[in-house]
């Protein structure tokens, strides 16, 4: 036990003396969460549009007012002819053009039908789709309000309500996802580098020729970094709560305990990676490349798991981030208790134990 | 009683033979020096003795334990100082020392008298980071760390490489004192002059141990005549000319002179005639071989540079 404590003390010296790495360890998560939170978002805001209003009557004006006042759109240009549409897309930042046919109000009144054309810039397919849908929604809304007194036979009234995230804020999705991604990357990097560094400096050689057991070294490397990675988790949660307004509806204690579990898992994974590589560079490549993309793609962070082919869905089960994201969403957004996340907790715990056992088994007690 | 017993040890890395048929016995409480050029296999042998590598065949016993089976016992009893001093550069002198003490389950105060002589040199700098120490001080700290658990055997892999001449002399004096406290020492070095400070030395070359002797007896292996030759002009050009002669066994620069070993079939009178016939020849003198001469003789090369 004294040996383990001595080892941990040494690790703590390493951590706090290398203040440059320390700044990176804390700076990168903060920077990334801010970047992800602000930049990577599906929410529409201030999309620049143009209008070609060939009718200019009270209905078209009312519809345009409604669209502009929604906050999603900004009117950038009023076009005069169809010929101007293409140049407007090419030169300006215009993402959408709305065209009203002539005598819009009149036709609507007389025939009960008038034509409106939405042209969206689909060079970014998702955004184009989103813009068109939003516009459509606003127009339908207008019509419903306008003619609510008129009874149309056989209408289905549709009322939407979105539970847990009523405003459909993308940040609710991105903060848990980014947190899972950053924590696993940083934590694996910390331990895998710290062990391979000893191999490179030659100090591992002396540690091997000593009565230290593999588990002394492995636990001694994981323990001090738990505190470091955990403080990272707390910083991200604080940023999510105060900067992005992501709620914490469930138990904070449960949230923190789950975070400790998740970082321990990532740190053990880092140790396991260090048993596979002899240099800091290899360890870094494995930690970054082998983890980053699968975690982003397969954890449900960006693409919904339910939409994936069955085989890929099974594959996602081995991604630790998938289970942690699920825990985060349950606790933070839905406010669920332990009864709803026990399965995830068990999976994360078993993965941690597995990696530690594998690392101890694979740990080379000699130089070859 | 022997503290190291090695029998017919083989080790190869892929196609490269690192050790071939090594037989070695080191007695308790002696300083055994392993002398040889870089790449001779010294470090590999030390790594097998310290249980860091497994031999391909043959057996090795250290402190009475087998290096493969009983590696855990050996690791408790051996103090190992690797070629690159295994110090944590971001830890202070004192922190390094107490870390190694706890790793070996002891305290600095328990064995302080053992390292006092060495540690007292660096104690004034005990709060300095190990990375900021000079080569000589790093070496003393590494030695203190290797000694802190009072090992039965001290394994030192090229401890004097990259250390200044004064520190080297001091270092060997320290080893003498440690030996007197009952700790056996096996040390490797590429410097042949250090061989004289060992109780016994083994000459190692091309993955084999050529012979083990007391240092003063090594020169007995030199069975040919040896001369110290001076030239009037450039020693190096004269050396090259000497090496082209068919009676020249070996010729190499030794300070301001050239040490020349000759074949048995040429006697002194003939040699004198031959030398006088050469350009820029000044004088010659018959000498008795030193350890370096013997080593070159045993290596079977014309000089240390080939």
Per-residue model confidence as pLDDT tens digits over B136-149: 899 999 999 999 99
pLDDT-based confidence at residue A237 (cuts at 50, 70, 90): very high
At A314, phi and psi to the nearest 5?
Answer: -65, -40
In this predicted structure, what is the pLDDT of residue B51?
94
In this predicted structure, what is the pLDDT of residue A174?
82
Using a CB–CB cut-off of 8 Å, the residues of B that contact A are: 47, 50-54, 71-72, 75-76, 78, 80, 82-84, 86-91, 95, 98-100, 102-105, 145
Q: In angstroms, what separates the C-alpha of B264 from chain A's closest C-alpha?
A: 47
On chain A, the residues whose CB falls within 8 A of the CB of B71 are 365-366
pLDDT-based confidence at residue A140 (cuts at 50, 70, 90): confident
Q: Which of the residues A15, A19, A207, A209 would you substitute to probe the B interface, choosing the one with the greatest number of B C-beta atoms within 10 Å? A: A209
Answer whether residue A252 shows pLDDT above 90.
yes
Determine the Cα–Cα distance for residues B179 and B102; give it in Å rounded to an integer: 24
Question: Under an 8 A CB cutoff, do B52 and A2 touch?
Answer: no
Q: In angstroms, what separates the C-alpha of A262 from chain B's closest C-alpha?
A: 30
Sheet containing strand A96-100, strands side by side = A73-78, A47-53, A96-100, A116-120
Answer whether residue B151 shows pLDDT above 60.
yes
Fold of A47-146: abc type-2 transporter like fold (3.40.1710)
Task: Provide the mean pLDDT of chain A.
Answer: 88
Higher pLDDT, B250 or B53: B53
> Counting every residue, how long is chain B?
306
Question: Under an 8 A CB cutoff, do A211 and B72 touch?
Answer: yes
Answer whether residue B77 shows pLDDT above 70.
yes
Task: Render pLDDT for A147-181 as a digit per residue (tens, 0 to 9).
Answer: 776 666 666 766 777 787 777 777 788 888 889 99
Name which of B76, B82, B91 is nearest A205 (Cβ-Cβ). B82
User: Contact at 8 Å (CB) between B300 and B250?
Assistant: no
Question: Under an 8 A CB cutoff, do B90 and A208 touch?
Answer: no
pLDDT-based confidence at residue B156 (cuts at 50, 70, 90): very high
Answer whether residue B86 shows pLDDT above 60.
yes
Strands B208-213 and B200-205: antiparallel
On chain A, the residues whose CB falls within 8 A of the CB of B89 are 201
Answer whether residue A40 shows pLDDT above 70.
no
On chain A, the residues whose CB falls within 8 A of the CB of B98 are 6
Question: Under an 8 A CB cutoff, do A209 and B105 touch?
Answer: no
Name which of A18, A209, A211 is nearest B52 (Cβ-Cβ). A209
Q: Among residues A230, A204, A228, A227, which one has the least CA distance to residue A217?
A: A204
Q: What is the mean pLDDT of residues B252-264?
A: 86
Task: Render pLDDT for A181-226 as a digit per residue (tens, 0 to 9).
Answer: 999 999 999 899 999 999 998 899 999 999 999 999 999 999 999 9
Where is average pLDDT lowest: A7-11, B89-93, B215-219? B215-219
Residues 6+ apart with CB under 8 A from B74: B50, B51, B62, B63, B65, B67
pLDDT-based confidence at residue A13 (cuts at 50, 70, 90): very high
Higher pLDDT, B224 or B28: B28
Q: Is the ipTM of this complex over 0.85?
A: no
Q: How many CB atoms lie within 10 A of CB B17?
A: 17
Question: Under an 8 A CB cutoff, do A13 and B95 touch?
Answer: yes
Q: What is the mean pLDDT of residues B211-225?
A: 83
Task: Render pLDDT for A292-306 as a digit per residue (tens, 0 to 9).
Answer: 888 988 988 888 888
In this predicted structure, what is the pLDDT of residue A149?
67
Determine the Cα–Cα distance for residues B175 and A262; give it in Å rounded to an integer: 51
Q: How many CB atoms lie within 10 A of CB B98?
A: 20
Name which of B72, B76, B102 is nearest A6 (Cβ-Cβ). B102
Question: Under an 8 A CB cutoff, do B103 and A6 touch?
Answer: yes
In this predicted structure, what is the pLDDT of residue A111?
83
pLDDT-based confidence at residue B192 (cuts at 50, 70, 90): confident
Using a CB–CB cut-off of 8 Å, the residues of A that contact B are: 2-3, 5-7, 9-10, 13-14, 17-18, 201-203, 205-212, 365-368
In this predicted structure, what is the pLDDT of residue A354?
96
Q: Does domain B222-299 have CATH number 3.40.50?
A: no
Answer whether residue B284 shows pLDDT above 80.
yes
Where is average pLDDT lowest: A32-46, B141-155, B181-195, B226-240? A32-46
| Domain residue ranges of chain B, discontinuous segments joined by + | 2-217, 222-299
Q: Which of the residues B13, B71, B86, B145 would you substitute to probe the A interface, choosing the one with the greatest number of A C-beta atoms within 10 Å? A: B86
pLDDT-based confidence at residue B179 (cuts at 50, 70, 90): very high
Question: Under an 8 A CB cutoff, do A5 and B78 touch?
Answer: no
In this predicted structure, what is the pLDDT of residue A41?
63
Answer whether residue B306 shows pLDDT above 60.
no
For the CA atoms of A54, A55, A57, A63, the dihedral, rounded to the nearest 10 degrees, stands at: -60
Q: In angstroms, what separates the C-alpha of B162 from chain A's closest C-alpha?
A: 17
At B80, phi and psi to the nearest 5?
Answer: -120, 130
On chain B, the residues whose CB falls within 8 A of the CB of A212 are 103
What are the structure tokens assigned to A316, written together? 């996602």
User: Contact at 8 Å (CB) between B194 and B226?
Assistant: no
In this predicted structure, what is the pLDDT of residue A153?
62
Q: What is the mean pLDDT of residues A74-84?
A: 87
What is the CATH number assigned to the segment(s) B2-217? 3.40.50.300
Question: Under an 8 A CB cutoff, do B103 and A17 touch?
Answer: no
Buried b (16+ CB within 10 A) or exposed e, B246-277: eebbbbbebeebbbbbbeeebeeeebeebbee
Percentage of chain A modeled with pLDDT above 90: 39
Question: Under an 8 A CB cutoff, do A10 and B84 touch?
Answer: no
- pTM, full prediction: 0.79
Q: Which chain B residue lies closest to A10 (C-alpha atoms)?
A: B99
Task: Provide the mean pLDDT of chain B.
Answer: 89
Q: Where in chain A is the domain with CATH 3.40.1710.10?
A: 47-146
Name which of A5, A9, A209 is nearest B80 (Cβ-Cβ). A209
B129: β partners = B92
pLDDT-based confidence at residue A45 (cuts at 50, 70, 90): confident
Q: How many CB atoms lie within 10 A of CB A285?
A: 13
Percentage of chain A modeled with pLDDT above 70: 96
Q: Give me the total of CB pairs closer than 8 Å, taking one residue from chain A and one from chain B.
A: 81
Question: Under an 8 A CB cutoff, do B84 and A14 touch?
Answer: no
Q: Which of the residues A11, A210, A213 would you substitute to probe the B interface, choosing the one with the greatest number of B C-beta atoms within 10 Å? A: A210
User: Contact at 8 Å (CB) between A52 and A100?
Assistant: yes
In this predicted structure, what is the pLDDT of residue A110?
85
Q: Which chain B residue lies closest to A15 (C-alpha atoms)?
A: B90
B34: β partners = B188, B202
């Amino acid at each position: 036990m004294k040996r383990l404590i001595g080892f941990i003390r040494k690790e703590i010296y390493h951590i706090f003396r290398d203040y440059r790495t320390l700044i990176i360890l804390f700076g990168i998560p903060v920077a990334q969460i801010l970047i992800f939170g602000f930049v990577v978002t599906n929410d529409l805001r201030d999309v620049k549009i143009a209008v070609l209003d060939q009718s200019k009557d009270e209905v078209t004006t009312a519809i345009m007012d409604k669209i502009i006042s929604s906050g999603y759109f900004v009117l950038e240009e009023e076009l005069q002819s169809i010929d101007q549409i293409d140049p407007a897309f090419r030169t300006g930042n215009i993402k959408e053009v709305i065209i009203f046919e002539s005598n819009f109000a009149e036709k609507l009144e007389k025939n009960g039908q008038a034509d409106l054309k939405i042209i969206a810039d689909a060079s970014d397919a998702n955004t184009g789709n989103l813009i068109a849908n939003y516009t459509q929604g606003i127009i339908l809304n207008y019509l419903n309000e306008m003619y609510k007194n008129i009874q149309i036979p056989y209408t289905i009234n549709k009322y939407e309500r979105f539970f847990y995230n009523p405003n459909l804020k993308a940040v609710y999705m991105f903060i848990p996802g980014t947190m899972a991604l950053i924590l696993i990357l940083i934590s694996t990097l910390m331990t895998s580098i710290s062990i391979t560094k000893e191999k490179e400096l030659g100090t591992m050689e002396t540690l091997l020729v000593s009565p230290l057991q593999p588990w002394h070294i492995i636990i001694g490397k994981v323990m001090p970094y738990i505190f470091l990675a955990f403080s990272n988790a707390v910083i991200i949660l604080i940023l999510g709560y105060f900067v992005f307004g992501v709620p914490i509806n469930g138990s904070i204690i449960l949230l923190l305990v789950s975070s400790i579990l998740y970082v321990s898992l990532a740190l053990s994974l880092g140790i396991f990676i260090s048993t596979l590589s002899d240099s800091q560079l290899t360890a870094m490549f494995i930690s970054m490349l082998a983890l980053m993309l699968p975690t982003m793609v397969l954890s449900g962070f960006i693409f919904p798991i339910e939409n994936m082919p069955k085989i890929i869905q099974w594959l996602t089960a081995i991604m630790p981030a998938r289970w942690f994201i699920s825990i985060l969403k349950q606790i933070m957004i839905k406010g669920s208790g332990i009864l709803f996340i026990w399965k995830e907790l068990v999976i994360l715990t078993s993965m941690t134990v597995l990696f530690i056992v594998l690392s101890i088994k694979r740990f080379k007690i000699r130089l070859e | 009683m022997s503290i190291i017993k090695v029998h017919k040890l083989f080790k190869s890395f892929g196609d490269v033979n690192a050790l071939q048929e090594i037989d070695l016995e080191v007695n308790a409480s002696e300083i055994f020096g392993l002398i040889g050029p870089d790449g001779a296999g010294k470090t590999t042998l030390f790594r097998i003795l310290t249980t860091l590598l497994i031999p391909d065949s043959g057996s090795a016993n250290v402190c009475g334990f087998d290096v493969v089976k009983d590696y855990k016992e050996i690791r408790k009893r051996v103090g190992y100082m690797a070629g690159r001093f295994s110090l944590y550069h971001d830890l202070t002198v004192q922190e390094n020392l107490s870390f190694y003490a706890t790793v070996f389950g002891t305290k600095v105060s328990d064995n302080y008298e053992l390292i006092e002589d060495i540690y007292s040199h660096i104690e004034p700098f005990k709060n300095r980071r190990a990375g900021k120490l000079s080569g000589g001080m790093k070496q003393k700290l590494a030695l203190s760390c290797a000694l802190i658990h009072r090992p039965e055997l001290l394994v030192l892999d090229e401890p004097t490489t990259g250390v200044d001449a004064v520190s080297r002399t001091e270092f060997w004096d320290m080893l003498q004192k440690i030996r007197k406290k009952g700790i056996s020492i096996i040390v490797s070095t590429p410097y042949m002059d250090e061989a004289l400070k060992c109780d016994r030395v083994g000459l190692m070359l091309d993955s084999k141990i050529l012979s083990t002797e007391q240092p003063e007896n090594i020169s007995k292996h030199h069975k040919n005549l040896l001369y110290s030759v001076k030239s009037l002009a450039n020693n190096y050009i004269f050396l090259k000319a000497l090496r082209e002669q068919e009676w020249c066994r070996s010729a190499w620069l030794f300070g301001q002179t050239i040490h020349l070993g000759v074949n048995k079939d040429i006697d002194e009178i003939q040699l004198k005639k031959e030398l006088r016939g050469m350009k820029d020849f000044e004088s010659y003198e018959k000498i008795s071989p030193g350890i370096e001469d013997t080593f070159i003789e045993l290596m079977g090369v014309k000089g240390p540079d080939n």
